[in-house]
Amino acid sequence: MMSDKQFEQLMNKLDALIKITAVNVSQGKSIAEVALLLSDFGFQNKEIASILGTTPAYINKVKYEAKKELKKEGKRKLKGVEQKDEQRKV
């Protein structure tokens, strides 16, 4: 049986692995693109914010604007959102 300390250590390592993977996947992409991708994988705004080093409110705003842009464009091109996102890259 796993102790609480062992469980906590395992969770910390998994969190680190998730962040490392997210950084690798997101290189060269805007925060909007990464936020939508992580959201598609089932992550909540709070988790996405933690991974990307920002706030859940900012992630919510970026996702909203990206989805609005996607609807408007009819494709997964986020040029307008990237400009609103001030060209912040992960």
Contact 32, 62 (CB under 8 A): yes
Closest CA to 21 of 1, 41, 7, 3: 41
The Cβ of residue 18 has, within 10 Å, a number of other Cβ atoms equal to 16
25/6 Cα distance (integer angstroms): 29
Rounded to the nearest integer, the mean pLDDT of the chain is 82
Q: Band of the pLDDT at 71, cuts 50, 70, 90?
A: confident
Look at 74 and 32; give whichever has higher pLDDT.
32
* pLDDT of the residue at 84: 53
Q: Band of the pLDDT at 65, cuts 50, 70, 90?
A: very high
* pLDDT of the residue at 62: 95
pTM metric for this prediction = 0.66
